Amino acid sequence: MTNSDYLWWRDGVIYQIYPRSFMDSNGDGVGDLPGITSKLDYVADLGVDAIWLSPINVSPMYDFGYDIADYEDIDPIFGARADFDHLIAEAHQRGLKIMMDLVINHSSHLHAWFKESRSSRHNPKADWYIWKDKPADRKYPNNWASAFGGPAWEWDETRQQFYYHMFLKEQPDLNWRSPDLRRAVFGSIKFWLDRGVDGFRLDVVNGYFKDAQLRDNPPRFTLNPFTIETQRQQRIYDCDQPELFDVYREFRALLDSYSERGSVGEVMSDDPKRVASYVGKDKLHMAFNFGFMHQPWRPLAFQQAITAWDSAVASDAWPCYVLSNHDNPRHVTRHGEGPFADERAKVAAALLLTLRGTPFLYMGEEIAMRSPRLARNDLADPYDKQLWPFHKRRDSSRTPMQWDDSPNAGFTSGAPWLPVGSNNKIGIAAQQDDPNSVLNFYRALLKLRRESPGLRRGKFHPLIEKPVTAMLYLRETEEQTMLVALSFFGHDTLAPLPAGQWQRRLSTHPGGVISAGTLTLAPFEATILELNKV
């Protein structure tokens, strides 16, 4: 491969920003677009290629932006359209692409479309949402449950009908079977493409269509008493319907009519085959495989998740990988924190950034930010609140970015909307000049990935069939062979080294010795070697 076929969404690395928590420029305690623009140099210096912004559209914030009340405007809490235009221009000047979050499975109940739709049974938008009469023989139209708990149907007094909401009742689902609705949504997508947006992350991308007959989902057996209703159903009728592919085809054709646009879908599924079925030509550019993200700290578990995903994604498609996002505790916390948290964070970074597939980083993971324990009174997220005390997944990953050790970690001069994590030592300022910091390790990895065709595009070959302490794999193209060795273990461990002259390109333990046939790895060592071609 040559540099001329470098495609940002395929060869690059994408950095997720949760705008409420990145940088606050006006002291209201909530991050905003001018705040993000002021930190673009930091993001560009890190060495990533693109930024995915969690939603910034007008929203009453019942689900913190994932409930959109105007698809074509920016919420005043984040700024104005002019601030967004400025952000795009400044990002582009630094070689950074911008992806927006496209939340088009549902809107806010305060969107003008829903207000009109619910005003009567006979208005031009009456069928833009999913409405159903009260059944004679049961309480709700069917057994579908809300992903946030409780039934997915809400009674509307005016229409004397139920409407369907896959998430909160303040997030009614759009009816993608309405041609007018579909046209209106595509109009808004085009609106942002014309303003220079480079791509989209599509929320709940396998949910747009529900079974036309609204059939009941069959039950699913589980021994876990803490699951919510959606996890006790086989979700065969409220998502993953075949009509989706026609929408993807139209979406892809629209993106392809512009130059170098990209997309990534959030698929509600841990099944790599199902997720992969949505990616490729005429479909999405990429989709998240959350199966990888939820692995325990064991090399075999990760390796199996990678090989399953690698083989599920078709040859005309491209995988991507993510370890943390705004919906789950950060991976450093999930992997156990403790005295070796930073060491494990480096191993995880080396894994994520050396796989065959586009890595997505979640803001703050480059400094190994933890997910702090939050008190009940600190919670803002409706999902966390509803399921307290069993569920503390989302707010803890959304706490403000830790820039330095000033009050509120330099995030705001006001009162932050969520508490700042207490561990200031991990702030960016403290790590900037420390050659051994997690931050500088991320920077070195990002640089090496960018420079190495093997790491960007090479085939993935695991070298140990059933790894117990360390994972070893090759990333190979015709021109380059790279070897990645990752110790998941707190003691020295020996790993088999294939024949050849290996040169150390990057390591958490740069002094280590490479002897023929064996690589000795220190506890939690991450080392990347390159084969000298003769």
Q: Does 185 bind ligand NOJ (CB under 6 A)?
A: no
**What gap in Å lies between CA 9 and CA 262, rounded to an integer?**
6
Closer CB to ligand NOJ, 239 or 522, in the complex: 239
Closer CB to ligand NOJ, 203 or 395, in the complex: 203
Q: Bridge-partner residues for 54, per DSSP?
A: none
Q: How far is the CB of 106 from ligand NOJ (least distance, A)?
A: 7
Find the DSSP H helices in 285-401.
290-293, 299-312, 331-334, 341-352, 382-387
Q: How far is the CB of 203 from ligand NOJ (least distance, A)?
A: 5
Looking up tokens 């059933």 gives 466
Q: How far is the CB of 336 from ligand NOJ (least distance, A)?
A: 24
Q: Does 87 bind ligand NOJ (CB under 6 A)?
A: no
CA atoms within 13 A on the CB side of 525: 25
- Which one of residues 102, 152, 181, 204 is an interface residue with ligand NOJ (CB under 6 A)? 204
Closer CB to ligand NOJ, 103 or 312, in the complex: 103
Q: Does 173 bind ligand NOJ (CB under 6 A)?
A: no
Site string for ligand NOJ, 34-73 (x = CB under 6 A): -----------------------------x--x-------
Contact set for ligand NOJ, span 152-171 (CB under 6 A): 167
DSSP string, 197-219: --EEEETTTT-S---TT-PPPPB
Q: How far is the CB of 72 from ligand NOJ (least distance, A)?
A: 18
Instruction: Evaluate whether 399 touches 20 at the Cβ level (below 8 Å).
Output: no
Q: How far is the CB of 54 from ligand NOJ (least distance, A)?
A: 8
Closer CB to ligand NOJ, 171 or 431, in the complex: 171
Q: Decide if 378 is catalytic.
A: no
Dihedral angle at the C-alpha atoms of 179, 181, 187, 188, nearest 10 degrees? -160
**What gap in Å lies between CA 94 and CA 260, rounded to an integer?**
17
**Strand 50-53 vs strand 320-322: parallel, antiparallel, or unpaired?**
unpaired
Q: Does 486 bind ligand NOJ (CB under 6 A)?
A: no
DSSP string, 340-364: THHHHHHHHHHHHTTSSSEEEEETT
Find the DSSP H helices in 410-523.
428-432, 438-451, 453-457
CA atoms within 13 A on the CB side of 104: 24
Site string for ligand NOJ, 446-475 (x = CB under 6 A): ------------------------------
Closer CB to ligand NOJ, 63 or 366, in the complex: 63
Q: Does 327 bind ligand NOJ (CB under 6 A)?
A: yes
Burial 372-387 (b: 16+ CB within 10 A, else e): bebeeeebebbbbeeb
**496 CB-near residues (< 8 Å, 6+ apart):** 463, 464, 472, 517, 518, 519
Q: How far is the CB of 62 from ligand NOJ (least distance, A)?
A: 10
Q: How far is the CB of 378 from ligand NOJ (least distance, A)?
A: 18
Q: Decide if 266 is catalytic.
A: yes
Q: Bridge-partner residues for 475, per DSSP?
A: 460, 482
Instruction: Evaluate whether 527 touches 509 at the Cβ level (below 8 Å).
Output: yes
Q: How far is the CB of 471 from ligand NOJ (least distance, A)?
A: 29
Q: Is the dihedral of CA 35, 41, 46, 48 positive or negative?
A: positive
Tokens of 513: 């010795």
Q: Active site residue: 24, 198, 266, 395, which one?
A: 266
**What gap in Å lies between CA 75 and CA 56, rounded to an integer?**
6
Closer CB to ligand NOJ, 63 or 476, in the complex: 63
Which residue's beta carbon is nearest to the bound ligand NOJ? Answer: 66
Closer CB to ligand NOJ, 75 or 343, in the complex: 75
Instruction: Evaluate whether 485 touches 301 at the Cβ level (below 8 Å).
Output: no
What 3-state class would DSSP assign to 131?
strand
Find the DSSP H helices in 234-313.
244-256, 272-276, 290-293, 299-312
Q: Active site residue: 32, 49, 75, 203, which one?
A: 203
Closer CB to ligand NOJ, 67 or 530, in the complex: 67
**What gap in Å lies between CA 51 and CA 40, rounded to an integer?**
10
Number of residues interacting with ligand NOJ: please give it, by CB under 6 A: 9
Q: How far is the CB of 129 from ligand NOJ (least distance, A)?
A: 15
- Which one of residues 203, 310, 365, 384 is an interface residue with ligand NOJ (CB under 6 A)? 203
Closer CB to ligand NOJ, 18 or 502, in the complex: 18
Q: Which residues bind ligand NOJ (CB under 6 A)?
A: 63, 66, 103, 167, 203-204, 266, 326-327
Catalytic residues: 203, 266
